Amino acid sequence: MRDILVVGAGNAALCAAIAAAENGARVTMLERAPQELRGGNSAFTGGCFRTVYDGADDIQHLVPDLTDAERDSSDFGSYDAATFYLDLCELSGYRADPVLIDILVEQSLPTLLWMKEHGVRFLPSYGRQSFKVDGRNVFWGGLTVETAGGGLGLVDALFRRAEALGVEVRYDHKVESLLGDRRRVTGVIANGEELYADAVILAAGGFHANTEWRVRYLGQGWDLAKVRGSRYNTGNVIRAALDLGARSHGNWSGCHSVFFDAGADDFGNIGVLNQQKNYFTLGIVVNRDGQRFFDEGSDFRNYTYSKMGAAILKQPGGTGWQVFDAKATPLLPDEYRVPRAARFEADTLEALAAKLEGIDTDGFLHTVFEYNAAVDEDVPFNPAIKDGRGTSGLTIPKSNWARTISEPPFVAYQVSCGITLTYGGLAIDSEARVQNEEGEVIAGLFAAGELVGGLYYDRYPGGAGLTSGSVFGRIAGAQAAST
């Protein structure tokens, strides 16, 4: 029986552990966090998975308890392999590793079905990814399923299955370095102890929680970002692999970051989820000068939201406000109804401006009035398609979903930058084997999840992170158990 060490205990690590165990290996997971904070960034997620699917039949396969009434009242659409592949190409500026994204796309649905067999429960993502149009739930963003109970539900289901398969999880075990050399890895050092194995699978996340690395790799100002998720993803396992001779890969100066509650803690708090604010498409966003600074309606939020943290970080004071009126607020999902959101409401725009501390009130009012006058009222509003209802004559247009900010009550949410994950990491091949700087495979070393580089550059399609961790985690586990 082969002995496998899995480093980390998030989604990628758990999928790797389950795949290795079902292929007959003895698996030990080494997790830096204490048990009560287990699950990494994966536990913080909404559990949304991007996958290829062909209409309601595939959704029904993933969601066996979908009722006839739900099926009849939903337009799930389809998301084919070519579209998923093209999305990954376009959002990365055609830099994404073609071998890896091909596998990610092709294996997305089979991997989710495999997870379902292992006890993960999927549901249609009604609340976040569909809008009611003519009485039907219309899905719009290629991101149609989420796990029951969100990220916590996901990792709980995977831990249950891993433990049932005999996987041992050692919490409070920080992996510090790898044993071996640039051609073969034989184990790890964790908490000062040498642990040997036939194979090691690295799934310890990226480096978003390392303030110093953020400045070093992402650039000036990134020390000021708030960490949305796990405080344990500091890149030290990436560093351990690089020290051994592994090849760095991907967009080391790139990351996923979003509009985030201005009053949020510096690190993710599992008791206060949903502090992102991603439905700016339904309103406008202004900075401290009261100015808009990007086209809020350029595309569905799934394809633009991952750059918004960087955008707000560059604004004066690194802060701004998302502004909505009574026409838009009923469409905002539950992330706008969480405790501790910096939310301001008033019956007039002037009264709202007075509540936005630090804003240039004249600038703000001028921006809203100018925007309202520029909205094309002749095009019908439809949030489930790119409706082409835009503005005309503004220096910064709003290209879709433009509606006036005119019906009280008016609401503003103050936002800052929340970093989600980093894009740079290690180079792997099609079997999730880590490569060395010479381009050869490092025998006995596999990787999956956030610490793999080469998948995302510049932008990121929502829901790809969990899917890629599952796809490559499953491959890594099966390969490690059999080679």
Ligand X SMILES: Cc1cc2nc3c(=O)[nH]c(=O)nc-3n(C[C@H](O)[C@H](O)[C@H](O)COP(=O)(O)OP(=O)(O)OC[C@H]3O[C@@H](n4cnc5c(N)ncnc54)[C@H](O)[C@@H]3O)c2cc1C
Nearest-approach distance from CB 174 to ligand X, in angstroms:
5
Closest separation in Å from C-beta 404 to ligand X:
32
- Residues near ligand X (CB under 6 A) are 7-13, 30-33, 40-42, 44-48, 174-175, 203-205, 228-230, 232-233, 236-237, 420-421, 449-450, 463-466, 469
Least distance (Å) between residue 42 CB and ligand X: 3
Q: Contact at 8 Å (CB) between 314 and 289?
A: no
Asked if 56 and 138 count as a contact pair (C-beta separation under 8 A), the reply is no
Distance CA 39, CA 152 (A): 8
Structure tokens at 347: 């019956």
By beta-carbon proximity to ligand X, the closer residue of 211 and 372 is: 211
What is the distance between the alpha carbons of residues 146 and 213, in angstroms, rounded to a whole number? 32
Return d(Cα 49, Cα 27) in angstroms, integer.
26
CA dist., res. 226 & res. 224, Å (int): 7
Smallest separation, CB 419 to ligand X (Å)? 8
42 or 92: CB nearest ligand X: 42
The alpha-carbon radius of gyration of the chain (Å, integer) is 23
Q: Which is nearer to ligand X, 371 or 472 (CB)?
A: 472
Strand ranges of the sheet holding 130-133, from the earlier edge strand across to the other edge: 74-75, 136-139, 130-133
Q: Are 394 and 297 in contact (CB under 8 A)?
A: no
Smaller CB separation from ligand X, 257 or 414 = 257
Between 18 and 48, whose beta carbon lies closer to ligand X?
48
Shortest spacing between CB 15 and ligand X, in angstroms: 8
Cα–Cα dist 7/30, whole Å: 5
CB of residue 280 to ligand X, shortest distance in Å:
17
Comparison of 28 and 291: residue with beta carbon closer to ligand X: 28
The span from the CA of 420 to the CA of 191, in Å, is 27
Measured in degrees and rounded to the nearest 5, phi and psi for residue 202 equal -90, 125
Tokens for 80? 């084919």
Which of 172/377 has CB closer to ligand X? 172
Residues 6+ positions from 281 with CB-CB distance below 8 Å: 296, 297, 300, 301, 383, 400, 401
Residue whose pair of structure tokens reads 């005119």 in the numeric block: 406
Maximum alpha-carbon separation in the chain: 72
Q: Are 84 and 302 in contact (CB under 8 A)?
A: no
* Of residues 236 and 483, the one with the C-beta less far from ligand X: 236
Please, what is the minimum distance in Å from the beta carbon of residue 469 to ligand X? Answer: 4
Question: For residue 431, what are the β-bridge partners?
Answer: none
Structure tokens at 170: 């050692």
Closest approach of ligand X to the CB of residue 284, in Å: 24
Strands 193-196 and 185-190: antiparallel
Nearer to ligand X, 45 or 322 (CB): 45
| CB 217 to ligand X: min, Å | 17
Closer CB to ligand X, 52 or 286, in the complex: 52
Output the smallest distance, CB 70 to ligand X, in A: 21
- To the nearest whole angstrom, how small is the minimum distance from the Cβ of residue 451 to ligand X? 6
Place of tokens 């829901």: 463
Distance between the two ends of the chain, CA-based, in angstroms? 12
Query: Between the CA of residue 382 and those of 134, 322, 335, 390, what are the distances in Å?
Result: 10, 20, 21, 12
**Closer Cβ to ligand X, 255 or 402, answer by number:** 255
